């Protein structure tokens, strides 16, 4: 009894060791070899040959054969899909076995004669069945381990894809040079989809303006199979960017791309698109900043064209104001002292605002100051200024202007109104005259006939208001204009006798009261002067 127990224990240990040995195998070939070693150790077999067929449509593969085995022995396994142990008499072999495994594969095994030349006993056959069961289990174990490895690899690869998508997004956002950015995106998406090659084509209309390949060495290589290609496109800045990926690699050869590959390619292309847009917007913002700085400087220069202080004229009070809506306004006023003691008063409004308007104001200012250095007639001066502005301005640009040649000693005022709002003269007796005589705005056309002038005299207590349409057309929230609701003439009459400074201050307050929170839509400019009562 003790003897039997010892034998059984020995047998059990042997089975345990054999399974451990089998399951350590790293390949089917190694598994087959280990299986032979176990049979030889336990059953004293001289020879064995192990074949494997993965699926019905696959060929038998010889995993192990101690003394060689020709292909003719495969007929023992033909047409057999179920488990079976058969006695044969073929060459050195005595037993043939078909062992189906869990995944539709099957082993075909030939077992040679025993070393002692005895036949396999019933006990040997039972042991053999145990070892075959262990082979089956070890096969399952190896396959599971392999699948687990593949799963871990696949999960890591997914993490890598996501990580690279994020990293590449950050990296392409940092890159400023377009080609570098495109190359990086192409390399990354190529690696993550296992494409064997990739290309980026940039087209402008029908013309290809750029073509990048990775790897570089395959520039001249033809694409063998169009069905193994994925692509994605986007348009930006008048160009069409198309990414192409060719021939996805696997350990089994070239395979088709899957949905994830297309998603990744689309995502990378979107990142490149966004990055290109961001770079463009950043560049635009830098350029705008530069232009704003230049406009600000130009605005400061232009403000100097308008006199900071008006001349102190004995017997008169003067006050002026200019409130531009942009850095560079289109309104201009001036009071230029002449050598003969007279003054040239100018109130002008360029159509439009901004840099172009500012340039015309500068031209008017420089020309007026230059021409008054020599003796002149007012109508001729305006005629010359018209020609200068006409030559300087584009078709849609012109200047409405009012010019007054004013002699403080006598109070005479010669005027020319070049298409500007009428200038008001508030007489001491509370009547209002309008100075409208003149001609068309400056720069509108090169006229063949002269401007017409008007002449009047200011008596003590009379006052004059020059202004631009920014005053009369100041708008409230209901889109009503100031002059329609609160006629400027009324303001003038209601403020008769008020000093020049208070008059201007009151006028601006009244306009602000009228417009409320509505943003100022045009430059506001006004010049008021009074001949003091003696």
- What angle do helix axes 122-174 and 2-23 make, rounded to 10 degrees? 30
150 Cα distance to chain centroid: 38
**Nearer residue to another protein within complex by CB, 271 or 525:** 271
* 215 in contact with another protein (CB under 8 A): yes
* 257 in contact with another protein (CB under 8 A): no
Distances (CA, A) of 17 to 12, 145, 472: 9, 19, 108
**Nearer residue to another protein within complex by CB, 164 or 512:** 164
**Nearer residue to another protein within complex by CB, 44 or 155:** 155
Candidates 132-140, 158-166, 294-302, 494-502 — which segment interacts with another protein by CB under 8 A? 158-166
Applying CB under 8 A, among 153, 270, 293, 460 the residue interacting with another protein is 153
| Pairing of the two strands 61-65 and 84-90 | unpaired
**Nearer residue to another protein within complex by CB, 218 or 440:** 218
Applying CB under 8 A, among 5, 217, 448, 478 the residue interacting with another protein is 217
In b/e form, how buried is each residue of 80-111, taking b as 16+ CB within 10 angstroms?
eeeeebeeeeebbbbbbbbbbbeeebbbbbbb
Least spacing, CB of residue 229 vs another protein, in Å? 17
**Nearer residue to another protein within complex by CB, 168 or 302:** 168
376 Cα distance to chain centroid: 60
Residue 402, strand partner residues: 347, 417
| Pairing of the two strands 438-439 and 412-418 | parallel
Least spacing, CB of residue 196 vs another protein, in Å? 6
* 102 in contact with another protein (CB under 8 A): no
Least spacing, CB of residue 160 vs another protein, in Å? 5
Residues 317/532, Cβ–Cβ less than 8 Å: yes
φ and ψ of 100, to 5 deg? -70, 145
Please tell me whether the peptide bond between 423 and the residue prior to it is cis, using omega within 30 degrees of 0: no
Query: In terms of C-beta distances under 8 Å and separation of at least 24 residues, what long-range contacts does 78-87 make, across chains too?
Result: 81/56, 81/106, 85/125, 85/128, 85/129
**Nearer residue to another protein within complex by CB, 196 or 521:** 196
- Total binding residues toward another protein, as defined by CB under 8 A: 28
Applying CB under 8 A, among 92, 100, 137, 187 the residue interacting with another protein is 187
Question: Around Cβ 266, how many Cβ atoms within 10 Å?
Answer: 16
Candidates 191-199, 365-373, 409-417, 486-494 — which segment interacts with another protein by CB under 8 A? 191-199
Candidates 127-135, 187-195, 320-328, 336-344 — which segment interacts with another protein by CB under 8 A? 187-195
Applying CB under 8 A, among 55, 207, 251, 339 the residue interacting with another protein is 251
Question: Site map for another protein, 230-249, x if CB under 8 A?
Answer: -------------------x
Applying CB under 8 A, among 65, 196, 231, 325 the residue interacting with another protein is 196
Strands (E), 60-184: 61-65, 84-90, 93-100, 106-112
* DSSP 8-state symbol, 443: T
Burial (CB count within 10 angstroms: exposed 0-12, middle 13-18, buried 19+), residue 33: middle
Residues 257/239, Cβ–Cβ less than 8 Å: no
* 147 in contact with another protein (CB under 8 A): no
What residues between 319 and 378 interact with another protein by CB under 8 A? none
* 156 in contact with another protein (CB under 8 A): yes
Residues 186/243, Cβ–Cβ less than 8 Å: yes
**Nearer residue to another protein within complex by CB, 22 or 192:** 192
Least spacing, CB of residue 203 vs another protein, in Å? 25
Alpha helices in 175-242 (DSSP H): 178-193
Least spacing, CB of residue 20 vs another protein, in Å? 16
* 274 in contact with another protein (CB under 8 A): no
Applying CB under 8 A, among 85, 191, 355, 356 the residue interacting with another protein is 191
> What is the C-alpha separation between 226 and 254, in angstroms, rounded?
12
**Nearer residue to another protein within complex by CB, 197 or 397:** 197
Least spacing, CB of residue 250 vs another protein, in Å? 7
Applying CB under 8 A, among 110, 190, 364, 524 the residue interacting with another protein is 190
Least spacing, CB of residue 95 vs another protein, in Å? 32
In b/e form, how buried is each residue of 140-163, taking b as 16+ CB within 10 angstroms?
ebbeeeeeeeeeeeeeeeeeebee
Residues 455/410, Cβ–Cβ less than 8 Å: no
**Nearer residue to another protein within complex by CB, 157 or 235:** 157
Least spacing, CB of residue 102 vs another protein, in Å? 24
Question: Site map for another protein, 20-49, x if CB under 8 A?
Answer: ------x-----------------------
Distances (CA, A) of 142 to 33, 63, 99, 148, 152: 14, 15, 16, 10, 15
* DSSP 8-state symbol, 226: G
Applying CB under 8 A, among 221, 290, 297, 301 the residue interacting with another protein is 221
Residues 140/86, Cβ–Cβ less than 8 Å: no
Task: Please tell me the total number of residues recorded for the chain in this structure.
Answer: 534
**Nearer residue to another protein within complex by CB, 183 or 481:** 183
> What is the C-alpha separation between 99 and 136, in angstroms, rounded?
8
Tokens encoding 132: 């075959």
**Nearer residue to another protein within complex by CB, 214 or 424:** 214
Candidates 91-99, 161-169, 260-268, 385-393 — which segment interacts with another protein by CB under 8 A? 161-169
What residues between 167 and 186 interact with another protein by CB under 8 A? 167
Interface residues with another protein (CB under 8 A)? 26, 152-153, 156-157, 159-160, 163-164, 167, 187-188, 190-192, 194-197, 214-215, 217-218, 220-221, 249-251
């Amino acid at each position: 009894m003790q003897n039997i127990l010892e034998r059984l224990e020995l047998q059990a240990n042997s089975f345990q060791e054999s399974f451990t040995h089998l399951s350590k195998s790293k390949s089917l070939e190694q598994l087959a070899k280990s299986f032979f070693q176990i049979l030889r150790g336990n059953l004293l077999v001289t020879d064995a040959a192990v074949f494997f067929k993965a699926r019905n449509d696959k060929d038998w593969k010889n995993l192990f054969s101690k003394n060689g085995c020709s292909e003719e022995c495969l007929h023992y396994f033909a047409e057999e899909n179920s488990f079976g142990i058969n006695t044969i008499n073929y060459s050195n072999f005595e037993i043939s076995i078909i062992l189906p495994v869990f995944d539709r594969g099957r082993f075909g095994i030939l077992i040679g004669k025993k070393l002692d030349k005895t036949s396999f006993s019933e006990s040997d056959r039972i042991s053999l069945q145990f070892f075959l069961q262990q082979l089956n289990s070890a096969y399952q174990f190896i396959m599971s381990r392999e699948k687990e490895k593949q799963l871990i690899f696949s999960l890591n690869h997914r993490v890598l894809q996501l990580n690279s998508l994020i990293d590449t997004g950050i990296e392409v956002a940092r890159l400023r040079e377009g080609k570098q950015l495109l190359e990086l995106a192409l390399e990354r998406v190529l690696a993550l989809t296992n494409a064997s090659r990739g290309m980026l084509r940039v087209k402008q209309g029908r013309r290809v303006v750029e073509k990048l390949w990775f790897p570089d060495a395959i520039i001249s290589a033809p694409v063998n199979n169009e069905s193994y290609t994925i692509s994605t496109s986007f348009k930006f800045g008048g160009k069409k960017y198309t990414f192409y990926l060719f021939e996805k690699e696997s350990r089994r050869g070239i395979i088709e791309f899957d949905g994830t590959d297309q998603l990744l390619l689309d995502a990378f292309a979107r990142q490149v698109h966004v990055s290109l847009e961001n770079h463009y917007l950043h560049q635009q913002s830098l350029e705008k900043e530069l232009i704003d700085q230049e406009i600000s400087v130009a605005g400061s220069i232009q403000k100097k064209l308008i006199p900071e202080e008006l001349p102190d004229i004995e017997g008169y009070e003067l006050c002026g104001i200019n409130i531009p809506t942009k850095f560079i306004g289109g309104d201009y006023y001036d009071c230029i002292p002449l050598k003969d003691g007279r003054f040239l008063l100018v109130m002008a409004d360029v159509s439009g605002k901004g840099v172009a308007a500012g340039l015309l104001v500068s031209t008017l200012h420089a020309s007026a100051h230059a021409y008054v250095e020599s003796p002149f007639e007012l109508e001729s001066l305006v005629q010359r200024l018209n020609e200068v502005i006409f030559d300087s301005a584009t078709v849609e640009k012109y200047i409405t202007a009012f010019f007054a040649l004013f002699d403080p000693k006598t109070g005479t005022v010669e005027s020319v109104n070049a298409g500007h709002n009428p200038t008001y003269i508030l007489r001491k007796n509370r009547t209002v005259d309008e100075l409208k005589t003149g001609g068309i705005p400056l720069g509108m056309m090169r006229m063949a006939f002269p401007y017409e002038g008007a002449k009047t005299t200011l008596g003590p207590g009379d006052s004059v208001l020059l202004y631009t349409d920014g005053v009369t057309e100041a708008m409230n929230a209901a889109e009503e204009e100031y002059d329609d609701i609160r006629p400027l003439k009324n303001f003038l009459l209601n403020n008769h006798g008020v000093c020049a400074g208070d008059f201007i201050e009151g006028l601006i307050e009244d306009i602000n009261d009228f417009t409320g929170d509505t943003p100022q839509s045009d430059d506001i400019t006004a010049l008021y002067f009074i001949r003091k009562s003696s």
